[in-house]
Amino acid sequence: MTFSPSTFTPPTDQQLRAFVDCAEEFATALRRLEFSSESLRRVLGAEGLAALDRGEPGVVDVLLTETDGVSADTVTALRLLILGDFADAEQLFGAELTVKLLDSGILAGTASNAQVCIDVRPVEIAGVDRIIFSDRDASMNDHVPGPDHVLGVGRASRSLLDISSTSAVESVLDLGAGCGIQSLAQPDAKSIVATDIHPRALFFARATFVANGFDQAQALEGSWFEPVAGQKFDRIVANPPFVVGLPSVEHVYRDSGLNLDGATELMIRGLADHLTDGGTAHLLGAWAHIEGESWQQRIASWLPAEGLEVWVTQRDLATPAEYIGTWLRDESIDPRSPEGCERSRAWLEHFRNSGVTGIGFGYITVQRINGPTSAVCEEMPQPLAAPFAAEAEEYLGRAEWLRTQTADTILEASFTVRPGVAIERVSLADVESGQGFTEFDTRISRTDGPAWTHSIDESVATILGALHPEAALGSVIDIMAMFGAFDESDVPAIKDALVPIVVDLVRHGLILPTELLEDKQ
């Protein structure tokens, strides 16, 4: 069996409407064939999955040819649906279903020699194997996705899955739902509303919902928050078309038609009106770095004065040139081509005229609160040691605790150093003497989650080492002074200086209030 990349014609919107009616039957047939993420892992292994993610069909082809322990029909189904090979569809799916798939444009060719025309991908989400339908991208077949392309399982969608809470809630809004993948991460929600401005995306979303038994999910057409005007939700997840650029739409899935970072701004501005009290929002976003203005100030200007706890973490920062090249390649445009050069010039000129010096990308976590808006915007370029969703949930709990505190109550509270936190003492070569080392820095670091690191002095390290879950922070300092660690006359100043340090350490989870740990238990 030799892989031969081939052309295909995506189904029309009318055909996709018909596909929704047989999507459940198709998914049942796929599960009978053991078309699953587990089969894909077993066949491809880590090497093959990485090649699949990089868009290298030659490697995937070899690994899908040399398989053991997987049935021939499963391999044929994987080659048909992952690589885009031709196969005997009637043998795989039966005569009746094959006719439906051919009529709905999901398959092309003949019953005995058919090719798939959409992307069908098995994905494990929240511990359950799911089947996702979307338009085929250019990863396994050399083609240029059209302007109406509906994105499937991409890196951005996986990132949003990683950062979003999945605990049971009454209601979820999946805004800009695309193929519906984010909704599948909310199986315990009693109701899910998936919205998108793109009718084609909603056909795929409905098919995905039917295939996975998500009767609680409905798909509504409309722009941004318009389909849910006046409604509030316990959770909002969103992967909006956040590409920072000119106010035009080249591809519906990534271009909003708004200038620069207007899509992220619009999303953030609309959250307060659509979250229930205590409700949370989890979204991806991008923002322009403008000359003469910090990116933190820019995002803060989009926030209401009341009602939100906001945590924005910038994961990446690109120069305008890097950013333009990345997104041109995303739409299969060679930056070296005449079209690529012209698009690059127009894009870069727009950035320069707007004072854009860089483009940031990251995660936005929001909670609806009673009281003044509180926002933290910070850089988080370091690798994550664990899924971000758990950290985001804990962060909101720590932020809520901090909102209720004063300097006095912080000194009256007791704290525990987080398990896995490390103290590092860094020394550098002593250049002046030419011999030995000189102390340079003392750092406290988390070895889990975001791996935050804070520089501290030795006196703070000593106090942190003396923390006890049953002793108030102020008492710890008093006792240390009694035993000569500090001059007793310095205690008031030490306490005053320590409070903001403790606030920062709590915010990043390096030390934890005993009260929060007790509530968690």
> CATH number for the domain including 369?
3.40.50.150
Task: Give me the pLDDT at residue 231, please.
Answer: 98
Report if residue 336 sits inside a domain: no
Task: Give me the pLDDT at residue 61, please.
Answer: 84
Report if residue 393 sits inside a domain: yes
pLDDT of 105-131, one tens digit each? Answer: 999 999 999 999 999 999 999 889 999
Q: Which of 95, 117, 139 is the last residue of a domain?
A: 117
Ranges 5-19, 100-114, 182-196: which has the least confidence: 5-19
Task: Give me the pLDDT at residue 504, please.
Answer: 98
- Judge if 396 and 437 occupy the same domain: no
- Judge if 300 and 221 occupy the same domain: yes
- Judge if 238 and 382 occupy the same domain: yes
Report if residue 58 sits inside a domain: yes
- Judge if 79 and 48 occupy the same domain: yes
Report if residue 259 sits inside a domain: yes
- Judge if 185 and 39 occupy the same domain: no
Residue 340 scores a pLDDT above 90: no
Helices (H), 94-198: 95-103, 155-163
- Judge if 285 and 300 occupy the same domain: yes
Residue 501 scores a pLDDT above 80: yes
| Angstrom distance (rounded) from CA 37 to CA 206 | 21
H helix or E strand, kind and range, residue 169? none
Q: Give the chain's end-to-end CA distance (angstroms, integer).
A: 57
Residue, of 210 and 335, whose pLDDT is higher? 210
DSSP-based three-state secondary structure for 376: strand
Report if residue 416 sits inside a domain: yes
Average pLDDT in the chain: 92
Task: Give me the pLDDT at residue 56, please.
Answer: 82
Q: How confident is the model at residue 1 (pLDDT cuts 50, 70, 90)?
A: very low
Q: Which of 400, 430, 461 is the last residue of a domain?
A: 400
- Residue 519 sits at φ, ψ, to 5 deg, of -65, -35
- Judge if 246 and 291 occupy the same domain: yes
Number of domains in the chain: 3
Average pLDDT value for residue range 490-508: 96
| Angstrom distance (rounded) from CA 283 to CA 236 | 8
Q: Which of 89, 117, 145 is the last residue of a domain?
A: 117
pLDDT of 307-339, one tens digit each? Answer: 999 999 999 999 999 999 988 887 778 889 998
Average pLDDT value for residue range 35-57: 87
pLDDT of 140-180, one tens digit each? Answer: 676 667 778 898 888 889 999 999 999 999 999 999 999 99
Residue 192 structural domain = 155-317+361-400
Average pLDDT value for residue range 240-267: 84
Q: Record the pTM.
A: 0.91
